[in-house]
Amino acid sequence: MIKNNKFHAKKVEYNGRTYDSKKEAKRASILEQQEKLGIIQNLAKQVPFCLQPGYTNNQGKKVREITYIADFVYQKDGKLYVEDTKGFRTPEYRLKRKIFEYKYPGYTFVES
């Protein structure tokens, strides 16, 4: 049984991969079709980006790295795109997006 998340999105399996929501699975289907048609290239899913590396603080405690996982990354017309499919934009997501845009300025951020 697949468990719902706190925002009531149901995980969906599509084409052998599990997505966090129906919306994300539908967007994956559209992007896969666009890749087949040559509209986009190099489609990748669930791509991790390090926003801050892990470290040991001044009390000797290890602090884990902060990671943003993009739903989709692809190229279109020579530009790099990172796309996130959101139904609800949490404060954590908004913060990670700002850090991502600062740290990875070569990507165009798209919300779907």
Q: pLDDT of 24-63, one tens digit each?
A: 999 999 999 999 999 999 999 999 999 999 999 999 999 9
Statement: the pTM of the whole predicted model exceeds 0.85: yes
Integer Cα distance of 25 and 77 in angstroms: 24
CA-to-CA dists, residue 38 to 35, 49, 79, 81, 104, angstroms = 5, 26, 14, 15, 25
